[in-house]
Amino acid sequence: MITVPIAVLGLLLAAMGFSAWKAHAIEQEFPNHGELLDVGGYSMNSLHLPAGSDADLPPIVFVHGAGGNLRDQETAFRPSLEGRAELLFLDRPGHGYSERGGDQNGFPDGQADAIARLLEARGIDRAIIVGHSFGGAVVASFGLRHPDKTLGLVFLAPATHPWPGGVDWYYELAAQPYIGWLFTRTILVPAGLMRLDQATKSVFDPNPRPSEYLTHGAPALAVRPRNFRNNAIDVFNLNGYAKRIAPEYSRIKAPTVIISGNRDGVVAEEIHSVGLSLDIEGSELVWIDQCGHKPDYVATEVAVAAIEKIAGRDRNLDAVAATLDVRTAKAD
């Protein structure tokens, strides 16, 4: 007779084997199309697109949000901006195909420093830095810590300020030592894949998720055990970090635009976007009516106009936003 402990061990080993196999299958489906560069003892992955011969904008760097990778922002912005500027789409440390590095990369300031070193490795002196969601916290830290490399900042539905409450239970569990490691290598992968379709729809809600987002944005990469655990640590650490750092945002002097949907169900726009607009003197807050947490996709033209405005063009962002015909999803 098989004893209960041996049976449990067998189930755990089977779950770990399935998770490892599935993570490899995801990587086969979505292989790395960036380039790994050393940023001080570990490598960061990025996709670098040189400026065209008739480029009219300065370099632009894109920082993805929680559970994302460089393909997310590449899919949103490459069609509009390729050739117009030197573009850098990156995997934050521990995400996509970037290595994690040290414990400092569990916080936005460590990731901002890593991005600064990546810019140096790419030969980019100064750039407009664009960040979505959690990437907004990294961009804010970049503006604080590396003003010499910052031409301007664009925040898209940012998560930058402390909020009441905590994080989802699965993030809290995955972030824990030992048990988090086991959770992400057994239960998480099959459960995460089953929820991926609905979870990505929820991020876009109330707007429809683009039909090819699951393939072009490759969100399945975030379900791999190591990536999910790194993401969970990032999210778990963010509130405490924001409590320490948000009072410093008033020191940011770079030209700043904040673009936020007024129906964001992921982050509280009245805390984060409004907070940033109050903290950063001279910043401009642009509201997108009927938009959820993905203005990078729903209001791409407003974000591009914001980049152009920071680059010195005459752009009325509220007028551009007013021309949008934002679609909302029909109930299933």
Low-confidence ranges of the chain (pLDDT < 50): 1-2, 331-332
Q: What local confidence, expressed as pLDDT, does residue 332 receive?
A: 45
Residue 255 falls inside a structural domain:
yes
Please state, in angstroms and rounded to a whole number, the distance separating the CA atoms of residues 68 and 323. Answer: 29
Q: Are strands 60-63 and 43-49 parallel, antiparallel or unpaired?
A: unpaired
- Residue 178 sits in a domain whose CATH number is 3.40.50.1820
Is residue 191 classed as helix, strand or coil in its secondary structure?
A: helix
Are the C-beta atoms of residues 91 and 69 closer than 8 Å to each other?
yes
What count of other Cβ atoms lies within 10 Å of the Cβ of residue 16?
A: 15
Are the C-beta atoms of residues 101 and 41 closer than 8 Å to each other?
yes
Is residue 98 classed as helix, strand or coil in its secondary structure?
A: coil
User: Per residue in 185-235, pLDDT tens?
Assistant: 999 999 999 999 999 999 999 999 999 999 999 999 999 999 999 999 999
β partners of residue 126: none
Average pLDDT, the chain: 96
Q: What is the pTM of this model?
A: 0.96
How far CA 75 is from CA of 65, 89, 212, in Å, comes to 14, 10, 10
The tokens for 137 are 């916290």
List of residues 6+ apart from 263 with CB closer than 8 A: 206, 290, 291, 292
Number of helical H runs and strand E runs in the chain: 13, 8
E strand spans, 240-283: 256-261
DSSP type of residue 150: E
Residue 19 falls inside a structural domain:
no
List of residues 6+ apart from 139 with CB closer than 8 A: 63, 112, 129, 130, 131, 153, 154, 155, 158
Residue 9 falls inside a structural domain:
no
Closest CA to 39 of 3, 86, 91: 91
Sheet holding 127-132, edge to edge: 35-38, 43-49, 87-90, 60-63, 127-132, 150-156, 256-261, 284-288
Q: What local confidence, expressed as pLDDT, does residue 5 receive?
A: 78
Please state, in angstroms and rounded to a whole number, the distance separating the CA atoms of residues 41 and 33. Answer: 22
Q: What local confidence, expressed as pLDDT, does residue 330 receive?
A: 62
Are the C-beta atoms of residues 155 and 258 closer than 8 Å to each other?
yes
How far CA 315 is from CA of 82, 254, 282, 296, 309, in Å, comes to 20, 17, 16, 18, 5
Please state, in angstroms and rounded to a whole number, the distance separating the CA atoms of residues 89 and 130. Answer: 10
Residue 18 falls inside a structural domain:
no
Residue 312 falls inside a structural domain:
yes
Are the C-beta atoms of residues 164 and 242 closer than 8 Å to each other?
no
Residue 64 falls inside a structural domain:
yes
Residue 66 falls inside a structural domain:
yes
List of residues 6+ apart from 97 with CB closer than 8 A: 32, 34, 36, 45, 69, 91
Residue 326 falls inside a structural domain:
no
Number of domains in the chain: 1
- Domain extent at residue 214: 26-321
The tokens for 242 are 């924001």
Are the C-beta atoms of residues 217 and 72 closer than 8 Å to each other?
yes
Please state, in angstroms and rounded to a whole number, the distance separating the CA atoms of residues 161 and 180. Answer: 26
Q: What local confidence, expressed as pLDDT, does residue 11 receive?
A: 82
